[in-house]
Amino acid sequence: MTLRLGDTAPDFEQDSSIGKIRFHEWAGDSWVVLFSHPADFTPVCTTELGLTAKLKPEFDKRNVKAIALSVDPAEKHIDWIKDIEATQKTVVGFPIVADADKSVSDKYDMIHPNQSTTATVRSLFVIDPQKKVRLIFTYPLTTGRNFEEVLRVIDALQLTDGYSVATPGNWKDGDDVIIPLTIQDEEVIKQKFPKGYKAERPYLRVTPQPNK
């Protein structure tokens, strides 16, 4: 199965480091970052889970829950968490799904045979409260992910959901944003963007971030 942006994230019921999880029920009305790992007790994964644990306050501010996954069993996850916490000096406050039967990996297309026939690649999905897939990252097995970029994109998604804007390249929270081409009526623009805008070209209209 190949997931695309806008698809409903597949539900699943699976064992995890905190017991049985039914994904949609566990997610509730939160945003979710679901990310897979090739295997437990591997060096890159250990650093990634440590980074995610340290970012929990930032995820909480954005109403985001993190959940990891690998094809190892739950008992192994629990032992691995002890290593993560000891080496990364943090507390892992999120579950790790035990996908031993690879059923979740298949639903989310996390196993790429040209990389490995048994291990999940570094897939990451951002899923909104309506359970829609909003972002998909896929990294090779040897490359750790940039979790600051994950936060940046969540900020952009939440901003563009709440306001009729788009974000430019390298945008960060607080930067100017773009008025989409779908909005052309000047009266509507004045209502939506009372701070005004600059237009370097008719199609390139920049305005201050509306909620700042």
Buried b (16+ CB within 10 A) or exposed e, 186-198: eeebeeebeeebe
Give the rounded distance of the alpha carbon of 185 from its chain centre.
Answer: 34
Gap between the terminal Cα atoms of the chain: 41
Backbone angles phi, psi at 116, to 5 degrees: -165, 140
Cα 88 from Cα 172, distance rounded (Å): 27
Rg over alpha carbons for the chain, rounded to the nearest Å, is: 19
Q: Rounded to the nearest 10 degrees, what angle do helices 43-54 and 74-88 cross at?
A: 70
Structure tokens at 131: 């359970």
User: How many whole angstroms separate alpha carbon 33 and alpha carbon 51?
Assistant: 13
- Among 9, 45, 55, 177, the one annotated catalytic: 45
The answer to whether residue 69 is catalytic is no
| Residues 6+ away with beta carbon under 8 Å from 148 | none
Catalytic residues: 45
